[in-house]
Structure 1
């Protein structure tokens, strides 16, 4: 029961992260935000796994760094989409499709054929995407394309991360990868030119929320929860993230979400639910 509570808290904190990130990128360039946010978050988590760093081999460090770079790329695309989107809830539901895309990536990279549950859930998710994204005819917005690309990259990160996580504890893996995201993000930002911007108290407040609450504490809660909850239950709980984001977007950010998009999000949620529930029954 405690593990489930940790995971529910993690999904709520992740949703808060969507709102906090949107607030920050209204003032601070997204690439600078991602670099500093994840670098500081890795420093917050480091004390919890400091002794384990000495056990890492060169091969493990290289593998974690490579996977971390994929995550960094995904997050840079994501934060750009967040900075230009008018609907965080829409972005959260599109990003949740990474779970459906992952089996395709695994099939392409490692020849792991998807199970029957995937083929049942896939057309449902496609229908949800159509309802969610094609509100103004057959024209995709730049933010929607950004979220789709980020979901694709994030699914690649899921697949690659799963192959290396067996030899490294989850918390240590997360800490190293967040550090790589932070370092690479800062390097990327240093090569970009940015218009003058002012770091206000408002921006600092939301930056700290996104860094400490929505990144460090969120990943710590998620890791603690995953240790004591089976994979199926954990996956079902984790798909609550876009639901919380939708509630946050409407209630706090006062976003107006068209009924068609709400239905599309619900259909995507259904596809994820079907995929997770049937994965253990159909082989």
Structure 2
């Protein structure tokens, strides 16, 4: 019975990575008719409020002292998503951006070293050269004229690594649904403030663009996080950590079919190196997975 639940959870996590990969396409389409910061703020606000409505019972008894650190993490998440949406808005290749962004899993232990004095596993130091060389192939495959979007995506990876370190450090006793809802809502509110200060709000949104926005908010945000939380409650974290590496692979595949994107041979090699770095950085989790 336990194996049955684990298999079900792993299938759900694969679905989560598919939704996450599709979210890149949904968002890129929505950005054709919405300003970037307004789009991402609304996406996260809608996602956060929906999770709040679904899990309102878990908010009972939650104190302000428990919520404050979650809001701080939500602010860091907002910074990460600001970088991400600006990168996506300016990017000419979604697949490349997805692989750069997902380098955050390699950066987590390194940033933990500087923030908290943690000692990264040997696998991280082995993975880092693969990640750096892969990033070089992605960013410089067309000579020295790399895209500014690559810097935004790299900023996203670093900010996400900060966010995950904070999550691991705070003794958060709140339910995962509360944690996710508060983070999304906080990020959404902060991004909306920045949007109001720096952008002109759209006077109208076409039904087509609104449909892409809803797909991004409902499928790639609310449904994705609900499935992710449920699946991770049924399987060891080591299994989930490895499966979640599939997100950039799906994003790249969808971009090829939907936007007819083409990567140069150097970019493909760079993606392979970064994916290898992600797996190497997860080597302790991979070993645990096979032991099960």
Compute the TM-score of the two structures, normalised by the length of structure 2: 0.92
2:83 is matched with 77
Post-superposition CA distance 1:63-107 (Å, at most 9, x none): 011000000111011101100100000000001100001111111
Matches of 1:129 and 1:27 in 2, distance apart? 30
- Indicate conservation of the 8 Å contact 2:241/2:282, yes or no: yes
Partner residue, 1:101? 107
Shift of 1:232: 1.8
The counterpart of 2:186, out of the listed 166, 180, 190, is 180
Change over 3 Å in CA distance of 1:165–1:172 after alignment to 2: farther
Contact 1:30–1:79 under 8 Å retained in 2:
yes
- Which residue in the other structure is 2:227 paired with? 221
Structure 1 counterpart of 2:163:
157
- Find the partner of 1:42 among 41, 48, 51: 48
CA distance 1:22–1:165, shift in 2 (3 Å): farther
Provide the residue aligned with 2:29 in structure 1: 23
Q: What SS does the aligned partner of 2:34 have? A: coil
Helix, strand or coil: the match of 1:199? coil
Structure 2, gaps ≥5 residues long: 1-6
RMSD of Structure 2 on Structure 1 (CA): 1.7
Counterpart residue number, 2:149 = 143
What's 1:232 paired with? 238
Tell me, in whole angstroms, the C-alpha distance in 2 between the residues paired with 1:79 and 1:261.
21
CA distance in 1, matches of 2:242, 2:286: 13
* 2:137 corresponding residue in structure 1: 131
Q: 1:164 offset after TM fit, Å?
A: 2.8
Q: Once superposed, which parts of structure 1, at least 4 consecutive aligned residues long, lie more than 4 Å away?
A: 279-282
Alignment correspondent of 1:12: 18
Aligned residue in 2 for 1:210: 216
Aligned equivalent of 1:245: 251
**Aligned counterpart in structure 2 of residue 256 of structure 1, from 245, 255, 262:** 262
Change (3 A) 1:128 1:50: same
Using the alignment, how far apart are the partners of 2:262 and 2:203 within structure 1? Answer: 28
- The range that moved more, 64-73 or 127-136, is 127-136
Using the size of structure 1 for normalisation, the TM-score is 0.95
Structure 1 gap segments, 5+ residues each = none
2:68 maps to which residue?
62
